[in-house]
A and B are shown apart, each in its own frame.
Chain A
Amino acid sequence: MTVSAPSKPRRKLKLVYQKPEALTDKATHYCPGCTHGVAHRLVAEVIDEMGIRERAIGIAPVGCAVLAYDYFELDGVEAAHGRAPAMATGIKRVLPDSVVFTYQGDGDLASIGMAEIMHAAARGERITVIFINNAIYGMTGGQMAPTTLPQQVTTSSPRGRDVVTQGYPIRMAEILATLDGVAYSVRRSMHDPANIRKAKKAIRLAFEAQVRGLGFAMVELLSTCPTNWRMSPIEAMHWVRDHMVPAYPLGDYKVDAALKKLRV
């Protein structure tokens, strides 16, 4: 295939959409309809708008976002499964002027990494956590996550999650909001454009909390995994709206007073 160079526009066109500086040119490996890519873009836009790219250090998790450091045009490291908040702590304690964020899935953050997230939050670690709740283990092929809904079928709950033997979903935004070290803990969804806009604003505040030294900040984002949910992208968006949002109410669980006053 030959690609011809774009001809020079005669009139000056207004640029309405471009790739954030904080994203690389690399095509992501995410499946069609997966909201990981949307979340990456929102984080990158916020980093651009705040002008913090050159201070930022991103921490990729073990999970589908394991290669996130390749997609962000900033310094990055790759943590062991669930340990990103501890790694973030180590970085932030020696480089207090840097802007450190973790990007974690629900298996990573709410299962194997439960101790690390709780204690980073309790310490009021000045880090920003982007928490992708897709109610499943994406990378390993769709096993049950701590956030899997009751009756939800996964490859390790083939008859649907039985709460008697497999327990109940965990609501992280609410749990973290109980800790004094937390400046910001909210839940948003990414199932439609209006919610995505709200998600971006929350991500902005979660970074503002850090640069203002207010404490620990987390945004939980209800997300899709069409591949392992065995749904089309559209069905997956609807499933978030119809099943996840009722189980994981959207809202602000803790917002530091200084953030409430901010206009972003």
Chain B
Amino acid sequence: MTRELLKGNVAMAEAAIRAGVDAYFGYPITPQSELLEWMSKRMPEEGRAFLQAESEVAAINMVYGAACTGARVMTSTSGPGISLMAEGISYIAGTEVPAVIVDVMRGGPGLGNIAPSQGDYRQVIHGAGHGDFFPLVLAPASVQEAVDLISEAFDLAEKYRTVVFVVADGSIGQMMEPVTLPPMRERKRARPEWAVGGAKGRAPRRLTSLYLKPEVEERVNLRILRRWREAEAHEVRYRGYHLDDAAYVVIGFGTAGRVALSAVRAARSEGIRVGLFRPVSLRPFPTQAIRQLASQAKAFLVVEMNGGQMLEDVQAAAQGQVPIRFYGRMGGMVPFPDEVLAEIKALAAAPPSPADDPRGRWLAQMAQA
């Protein structure tokens, strides 16, 4: 298969087309816009639906409508757009229809900036919207991985009848890398047995997230939760590097994990037995795998491009078995491998005590910098 040099946003768009996406609805926002632009050209070429909506509110509700027909449908945006989509995402989850959402994260809160960030972690792991549901959240660390995860996202969304997020920090969306695109998949023809499309020769179907009777809503909530538990059991994804003999484990996702890998390799060349654990599914979170590592390692270093949003999940997984150090850059700042290397060295030289507050220590360190 041929390798091509593609920008992350373009590669994700083309991957969705190859995965058989029937419809795309979106609204321009940096650092995601090239995805929408690519779709505007390619979707009509393929005879599929593309529409630039009037807002992210409209875009997600167009996604909702198309999803109710059983079509493969997606949107893409960045944090401010996810905030606007929150209501629609909740309706999609409540109606138990599948949809794929790409969030190319930027600095925030508010208008923030357009530099890469991982500040939407907490927002997306609970699906942004109201009520009891969990989306699946996948986080690539390279353009190739973004392509692979997009292809998978549609199957997962349909399997679990849920929202699947692919969260790429802005650098994944913006950078160019050589990738192998998957072959064009046959678009699925048969619509699922729950989809609306006209009650021809059958009883009418109705799709709603409204359950006025609490006992009925509770049953639906439980059904959604059971499906989520299935996903938790089967869809945990992560990558480990140099973990076999690692005394110290760096944990980071997306670009933070990728930067950390360079630092881990540099530290290894200096004789520090350190490895990298990179969560790929942020939901379901690789809790068990991290718990296992916590029982073996001397200390963890969590690296993120936010103020420690995943740190809380790592702490919960580690159950206090291992001391944790935290290093984050925020506001669109990307850590350099040297910074992470210095953190690894500091960790190895003086592991924190299990009673330490990792975020407090880091904040004090940032105040000095």
Show the binding face of A for B, using Cβ within 8 Å. Answer: 53-57, 59-60, 66-67, 69-70, 72-80, 83, 86-95, 98-99, 115-116, 118-119
Q: Is the CB of A78 within 8 A of B66?
A: no
Q: State how many angstroms separate the Cβ of B210 from the closest Cβ of chain A.
A: 5
Show the binding face of B for A, using Cβ within 8 Å. Answer: 22-23, 25, 49, 51, 53-55, 57-59, 61-69, 71, 73, 87-88, 91, 95, 196-201, 204-210
Q: Is the CB of A75 within 8 A of B196?
A: yes
Q: Is the CB of A80 within 8 A of B65?
A: no
Q: Which residue of B lies closest to A99 (CB)?
A: B198
Q: Is the CB of A115 within 8 A of B197?
A: no
- Chief secondary structure at chain A's binding surface: helix
- Chief secondary structure at chain B's binding surface: mixed
What A residues does B67 contact at CB under 8 A? 90
Q: State how many angstroms separate the Cβ of A126 from the closest Cβ of chain B.
A: 13
What B residues does A57 contact at CB under 8 A? 196-198
What B residues does A70 contact at CB under 8 A? 206
Q: Is the CB of B65 within 8 A of A86?
A: yes
Q: Which residue of A lies closest to B48 (CB)?
A: A94
Q: Is the CB of A90 within 8 A of B201?
A: no
Q: Is the CB of A119 within 8 A of B58?
A: yes
Q: Is the CB of B54 within 8 A of A119?
A: yes
A73 CA to B200 CA, complexed, in Å: 11
Given A69-B206, A115-B58, A116-B57, A90 contacting B25 (CB threshold 8 A): yes
Q: Is the CB of B200 within 8 A of A76?
A: no
What B residues does A86 contact at CB under 8 A? 53, 57-59, 61-62, 64-65
What A residues does B59 contact at CB under 8 A? 86
For B206, give its contact among A54, A76, A92, A116 (CB under 8 Å). Answer: A76
For A78, give its contact among B25, B54, B207 (CB under 8 Å). Answer: B207
22 example contacts (A-B, Cβ-Cβ < 8 A) are as follows A56-B198, A70-B206, A74-B198, A75-B206, A76-B204, A76-B205, A78-B208, A80-B64, A80-B88, A83-B58, A86-B58, A86-B59, A86-B64, A87-B62, A87-B68, A89-B65, A90-B68, A93-B23, A94-B23, A94-B69, A95-B197, A98-B197
Q: Which residue of B lies closest to A112 (CB)?
A: B57
10 additional A-B residue pairs with CB within 8 Å, beyond A91-B69, A94-B69? A70-B206, A73-B199, A77-B196, A83-B61, A90-B61, A90-B63, A90-B67, A94-B73, A115-B54, A115-B58
Q: Is the CB of A53 within 8 A of B199?
A: yes
Q: Which residue of A lies closest to B70 (CB)?
A: A94
Q: State how many angstroms separate the Cβ of B94 from the closest Cβ of chain A.
A: 10
Q: State how many angstroms separate the Cβ of A212 from the closest Cβ of chain B.
A: 18
What B residues does A77 contact at CB under 8 A? 65, 68, 95, 196, 206-208
What A residues does B53 contact at CB under 8 A? 86, 119
A69 CA to B199 CA, complexed, in Å: 13
Most central of B58, B88, B204 by chain A CB within 10 Å: B204
Q: Which residue of A lies closest to B212 (CB)?
A: A67
A111 CA to B199 CA, complexed, in Å: 32
Q: Is the CB of A94 within 8 A of B199?
A: no
What B residues does A74 contact at CB under 8 A? 198-199, 204
Q: State how many angstroms separate the Cβ of B75 from the closest Cβ of chain A.
A: 10
A228 CA to B65 CA, complexed, in Å: 32
